[in-house]
Amino acid sequence: MARDKWQRLEEARRVLGLPEKATILEIKEQYRRLSLETHPDHQGDAVRQQRLNQAYRLLMDYCERYRITLTPNEDGADPEDWWFLHFGQDPIWSGDKGKE
């Protein structure tokens, strides 16, 4: 994805006050909560509401178009199992530091 697109997504995340990782449900809940505070019908700020709307639309568009894998990886293992299969016996990654 282009750098400017990431910058717009980052700005949208900040406008909504979201952490670096958020679920679609969290995005929706935060948008609704902030909209109650800023909506012009509730004596809110119309400009702020417009920024919230734009940020929400941008994030939801990104989420709706994000491709997810619906099949297991080539080893047939989930990510945690894959990690253990490849690095689980390595004392640096396995958590068995200092054990002999």
Domain ranges of the chain: 3-65
Q: Is the pLDDT of residue 90 over 70?
A: no
Q: Cα angle at 58 between 56 and 64, to 5 degrees?
A: 95
Nearest in space to 63 (alpha carbons), one of 21, 17, 4: 21
Q: Determine the average pLDDT of the residues in 38-61.
A: 90
pLDDT tens digits, one per residue of 50-86: 999 999 999 999 999 988 877 776 666 677 777 777 7
Which has the higher per-residue pLDDT, 16 or 79?
Answer: 16
Which has the higher per-residue pLDDT, 43 or 99?
Answer: 43
pLDDT attached to residue 15: 97
CATH topology of domain 3-65: Helix Hairpins (1.10.287)
